[in-house]
């Protein structure tokens, strides 16, 4: 009898604990260093550098009207992983095409070859709406620094295919330019799981 009571008690406590946690929706983590400065918490952010898009428009992320960002780094003549990453970016594009809270940015890391005209032709042939998905360039050092802050490794390497070695990550950034998640753009399953991450951020950021 006491055993049954004990078991019932345990079950009740577990139930309360579990449902208690269920009420608190889990937030996405903030990636990178978080510093506490006095009363302020300072998060890792991506820099608000000037970017030039496929139509020669210059802008900063901060002027994008409070959108969350899906970003990647590539170059148009990339013979290795880029097409596969772009294919996965297309899946994200199809999913969030009609959702104005999301913008996509592909940054070229080959400033010498990928002029505005080249980026424009690339976007056009990929067949996407450039209001939604921008193809940008910028000052080389700034873009490489930006990649670093996005946690994407980009290395100029004469031995790599076409001179660059870079990772195929797709990164999720919130309205305050904080990095909230990423996936491997070369791995379709990682991208499928990433859909949920993006949805979660949308829910958190626009209540």
- Nearer to another protein by C-beta: 86 or 180? 86
Is position 79 an interface residue for another protein (rule: CB under 8 A)? yes
Is position 19 an interface residue for another protein (rule: CB under 8 A)? no
Member of 67, 84, 132, 177 binding another protein (CB under 8 A): 84
- Smallest distance from another protein to CB 202, Å: 26
Distance CA 129, CA 121 (A): 12
Distance of CA 86 to the CA centre of its chain: 13
Give the strand pairing for 58-59 and 51-52: antiparallel
Is position 83 an interface residue for another protein (rule: CB under 8 A)? yes
Q: Where are the alpha helices (DSSP H) in 73-139?
A: 82-96, 116-126
- Nearer to another protein by C-beta: 91 or 200? 91
Handedness of CA 158, 162, 167, 172 (dihedral sign): positive
How long, in residues, is the chain?
A: 207
Distance CA 86, CA 106 (A): 9
- Smallest distance from another protein to CB 175, Å: 30
Member of 69, 86, 107, 174 binding another protein (CB under 8 A): 86
- Nearer to another protein by C-beta: 87 or 140? 87
- Nearer to another protein by C-beta: 130 or 142? 130
Member of 49, 81, 116, 202 binding another protein (CB under 8 A): 81
Of residues 107-166, which lie at the interface with another protein (CB under 8 A)?
118, 121-122, 125-128
Distance CA 100, CA 108 (A): 24
- At 167, list the tokens: 């990772």
Coil, strand or helix: which one is 86?
helix
Query: Where along the sequence are the contacts to another protein (CB under 8 A)?
Result: 76-77, 79-81, 83-84, 86-87, 90, 118, 121-122, 125-128
């Amino acid at each position: 009898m006491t055993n049954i009571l004990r078991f019932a008690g345990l079950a009740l406590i577990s139930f309360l604990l579990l449902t208690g946690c269920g009420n608190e929706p889990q937030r996405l983590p903030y990636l990178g260093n978080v510093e506490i400065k006095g009363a302020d918490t300072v998060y890792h952010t991506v820099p608000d550098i000037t970017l030039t898009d496929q139509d020669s428009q210059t802008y900063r992320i901060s002027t994008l009207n409070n959108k969350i960002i899906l970003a990647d780094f590539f170059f148009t003549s990339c013979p290795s992983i880029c097409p596969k990453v772009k294919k996965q970016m297309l899946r994200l594009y199809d999913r969030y095409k009609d959702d104005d809270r999301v913008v996509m940015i592909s940054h070229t890391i080959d400033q010498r070859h990928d002029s505005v005209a080249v980026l424009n032709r690339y976007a056009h042939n990929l067949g996407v709406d450039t209001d939604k998905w921008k193809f940008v360039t910028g000052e080389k050092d700034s873009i490489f620094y930006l990649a670093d802050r996005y946690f994407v490794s980009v290395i100029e390497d004469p031995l790599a295919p076409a001179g660059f070695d870079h990772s195929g990550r797709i990164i999720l950034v919130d309205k305050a330019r904080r990095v909230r998640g990423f996936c491997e753009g070369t791995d379709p399953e990682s991208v499928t799981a990433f859909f949920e991450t993006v949805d979660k951020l949308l829910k958190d950021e626009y209540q």
